[in-house]
A and B are shown apart, each in its own frame.
Chain A
Amino acid sequence: MLERKSSLLKVTLNFLLLISIQYIGLLLALILTYASPDENVAHTYEASIFLLASSILSFSLLYNISFKAEKSNLMKYFYFLISILFMLSGILLGLICKYAHPMGIVDIPAMYLFFISSAIISLGLILMFKHNRGAKNE
């Protein structure tokens, strides 16, 4: 019983950690794009570095989680859901850099960095499912 509670606590902490990591990065990226402290200027390139950093960290966390075979499928789907949202926001911000930049320009390097962030997080998701399946088969 105690072991089960401790495992549940760990899973919940991992989940909260993943949410905080992803949304701190996303929030800072959005601030630099739409509410930059120096007004009138959208710093999409810097914003993309924030999202990239968050996605690297999320990938490491998902990679770490993937080796601890989750008994609860529900939790796995929660990880999947929030990471998919994060991935989609990366793609969306990348498209914004190309087609709807707040300053009316096109920022290609930022677009690539946003897309790379999305790719990194999707790799983390793939690994998580792959390792979980492997652990179940054992």
Chain B
Amino acid sequence: MSNRTLAILIGLAWFFGIYATLNAIYVELDLHKASYAYLGTAIWMIFLMLFIRKLERGIKNWINFLVITFYIFAIILSLITFYASPTDKLDFFAGAIFFLSGSLALGSSFFLKVEKEIKKEKLGVVHKLFRYILLLLFVSAFLFPLMRLIQSRTSHLTKMTKAEVTEEMLQALPNFNKDLPKMLDDITKLEVITFEDMKFTYHYKLIDTNETKESILSLKNAINKRACKESLSSMLIQNNVTLIYHYEFNNKDELLEIKIDNCLEKE
């Protein structure tokens, strides 16, 4: 296969990889799938790059363009998973995989330049090792879907037991409470967070306000959506913990509790 054909194939892998990633993010709303699509693309690009025999000027510039844009896209996609995720859940692991893929592709192009521009006698053991690692990476690309399948089959096993959840929560609770009570806005004060009998409760106090039970209750959907988006609360819900938002009004006799125990409710 000629160098030019390989360069075209790398370009095609780049194009379809980015298309598949954006499709998974914005159409299928699956960040996990998107991150694996991106990683797969990076690995295909690396594999094809290894077969280029000579780096002519045009091909070198073309590959530089592809890998640099791939890396910049990876940073942008990571930031999207941080601050503008279109899905209900924040998936930072997907962000990390995007960044890792971009880095691997760009890193391999630096490696490729060394391999093509330096005399073979100068390349030592580390270089050979590096080459084997890249090939291993290519093989592992085929293992990812298999791993994902195994993971989905065994996902019910990864759930924590009641005792484990309780232990984790009791350990983390002093930290959650260390800055409390604190004012979240002009009227809402978060007094304390408690965990008891698989119930994780936020105790709020509404100060100097005319808010009624009905107006707070109307926010239930928004509260549910936010809880499912935050990784801590969604992890708790997945492990059968009930989230309780306990509101105390000016008048201490008036109380309101919003309970969330699943993420299936739609707006």
Interface residues of A (CB under 8 A from B): 21, 24-25, 28, 31-32, 36-41, 43, 45-46, 49-50, 52-54, 56-57, 59-61, 63-64, 67, 102-105, 123, 127
Contacts and interface: CB of A to CB of B under 8 A. Distances in A.
A53 to B, nearest CB: 4
Contact of B100 (A38, A49, A64): A49
Nearest to B93: A46
29 contacts: A21-B103, A24-B75, A28-B78, A38-B90, A38-B231, A38-B232, A41-B232, A43-B231, A46-B93, A50-B96, A50-B99, A53-B100, A53-B104, A56-B104, A57-B107, A57-B110, A60-B106, A60-B110, A60-B111, A61-B107, A63-B110, A63-B111, A63-B130, A104-B172, A104-B175, A105-B168, A105-B171, A105-B172, A123-B126
**Count class of interface residues, chain B:** 35 or more
Given A49-B97, A50-B99, A53-B100, A43 B107 contact: no
B174 interface: yes
B118 interface: yes
B230 interface: yes
Best-surrounded residue of A49, A50, A53, A59 (most CB of chain B within 10 A): A53
A32 B103 contact: no
Interface string B82-100: 1100000010110111011
Contacts of A104: 171-172, 174-175
A3 to B, nearest CB: 18
Nearest to B123: A67
Contact of A53 (B99, B113, B130, B171): B99
Interface in B240-256: none
Interface string B168-208: 10011011100000000000000000000000000000000
A40 B232 contact: yes
Contacts of B114: 63-64, 67
A56 B74 CA distance: 15
A53 B172 contact: no
B229 interface: yes
A104 B126 CA distance: 39
A13 B78 CA distance: 24
A123 B41 CA distance: 27
B175 A102 contact: yes
Given A60-B111, A63-B111, A64-B110, A40 B176 contact: yes
A18 to B, nearest CB: 11
B266 interface: no
B201 to A, nearest CB: 15
Contacts of A67: 114, 117-118, 122
